[in-house]
Amino acid sequence: MRVLDLSAIAIVDHHCHPIRRPDQPVTLREAFSEAVDPQAIADGAETLLFRRTLREVAELYQCEPTEAAIEEARRSLGGDESLRRCFSEARLAALFVDEGIGDGQLLPAEAFLSVAPIRRVLRVESVATALISEESTWSAFVERLRTAIATPGPQVVALKTIVAYRTGLDVGPADDAAAAEVFFHLRQQLLRGRAIRLAHRPLNDWLVHEAARAARQTGLPLQVHTGFGDPDLDLRRANPLLLRPLLDHPAYRETRFVLLHAGYPFVREAGWLAWVLPNVLLDLGLAIPLLSVGGMRRTIDAALELTPLSKLLLSTDGALAPERFFCAARWGRRALGESLAAAVGDGDLTAGEAEAAAEAILAENARRWYGWPPAA
Ligand SMILES: [Zn+2]
């Protein structure tokens, strides 16, 4: 198959996370798994993804393609040098960083400044969790939350919700009284010295409505995790089709929703939403690079079945280790190049249209929808 060479395009990575501090490194196995269970992480070494990744990272670090040799190479190169190598291969024009992944051992987002300019993604559940511990009344909490997400400052280019991971995408109407009840319940837990987790439907659903409204007011896109991701999510409730009432709600027709993770495995469903609703965009992150090569290609092919080229974006969803960014950028370009070349072969696109589509998906759509970074 003829392949489009996309190596010249610098990717605008519209969704990623920080990496670990050098004194708290993750193994390559851990970095390329979404599991928490140690046995599941070990089993992850037997995926096509991991077999491929071992060879590619070994090539980058010029060592044997074994886990032991790679971990030794990572140690001897050190954090700064492996970051530099991974990012000079990845060639990312900008990074939009979500620091809310709740891992207390991460470097701040500024650690990326040596390799790319950064902006921030504000995770509304993190904002809410922090404010519950600071405010004792519901009205004070609501006021501070609204201010925080409606005036997040110039560094923030998107809002984000992880409701899919907590209570599911079948978001109901906002019920203030029921949400307030959850707020007081969580306050009680805090007063008893317990840690709190925002996983009670009335408050989580209420928060999504607040985020959708703030996104409309500010013009910032609202990123929504859909499909696979954290291991504890209920995948049945992460189907982006469940979002339809929210996406279509008259109050949010001006809110731009970005469906993250390609909605995998509900890629066609997500692509259909992006096709029929003017305010829905689709991201290919996490599916790239965590699937087999065939899986990545089929995911992009499925997205391209209906998604307008102007509404498809690539993120790395890189996290924890710089190798995630390296592999996501490599396979973002390669798999997209293969899918677009196939579209040319099929007669769906001309060669010129395929090249323009690649620019759009890897960089220009993010510039346009988020308004940053300025044109290169
Ligand atoms: Zn993410």
- Note the pLDDT tens digit of each residue in 48-77: 999 999 999 999 999 999 999 999 999 999
49 and 135 in a single domain? The answer is: no
**Least confident interval from 18-27, 252-261, 300-309, 353-362:** 18-27
Q: Is the pLDDT of residue 358 over 90?
A: yes
Does residue 187 fall inside a structural domain? no
Does residue 16 fall inside a structural domain? no
Q: Is the pLDDT of residue 104 over 90?
A: no
131 and 269 in a single domain? The answer is: yes
Give how many domains the chain has, as a whole number. 2
Q: How confident is the model at residue 300 (pLDDT cuts 50, 70, 90)?
A: very high
Domain endpoint, select from 23, 48, 77: 77
91 and 62 in a single domain? The answer is: no
- Give, as one character, the DSSP assignment of residue 96: E
Does residue 11 fall inside a structural domain? no
Does residue 193 fall inside a structural domain? no
Ligand 1 centroid, distance to 17 Cα (angstroms)? 6
Identify the residue whose tokens are 């993010």.
Answer: 366
State the pLDDT at residue 102: 73
State the pLDDT at residue 365: 98
Ligand 1 centroid, distance to 121 Cα (angstroms)? 10
Per the structure, the complete domain to which residue 303 belongs is given by 80-173+206-370
Q: Is the pLDDT of residue 14 over 80?
A: yes
236 and 106 in a single domain? The answer is: yes
- Give, as one character, the DSSP assignment of residue 261: G
Does residue 265 fall inside a structural domain? yes
Q: Is the pLDDT of residue 376 over 80?
A: no
Domain endpoint, select from 62, 77, 92: 77
Q: How confident is the model at residue 232 (pLDDT cuts 50, 70, 90)?
A: confident
Across residues 209-235, what is the average pLDDT? 96
Does residue 216 fall inside a structural domain? yes
144 and 69 in a single domain? The answer is: no
CA distances from 184 to 37, 56, 181, 201, 358 (A): 33, 50, 5, 14, 49
217 and 71 in a single domain? The answer is: no
271 and 357 in a single domain? The answer is: yes
Distance CA 128, CA 206 (A): 11
pLDDT above 70 covers a percentage of the chain that reads 99
164 and 232 in a single domain? The answer is: yes
Ligand 1 centroid, distance to 16 Cα (angstroms)? 6
Ligand 1 centroid, distance to 307 Cα (angstroms)? 21
329 and 229 in a single domain? The answer is: yes
322 and 362 in a single domain? The answer is: yes
What CATH code is carried by the domain that includes residue 334?
A: 3.20.20.140
58 and 117 in a single domain? The answer is: no
297 and 326 in a single domain? The answer is: yes
Ligand 1 centroid, distance to 228 Cα (angstroms)? 11
Domain endpoint, select from 77, 111, 144: 77
Does residue 8 fall inside a structural domain? no
Neighbouring CB atoms inside 10 A of 276's CB total 12
Phi and psi for 138 in degrees, rounded to 5? -60, -45
Local structure of 129: helix, strand or coil: helix
Does residue 20 fall inside a structural domain? no
Residues around ion ligand 1, judged by CB within 5 A, are 317
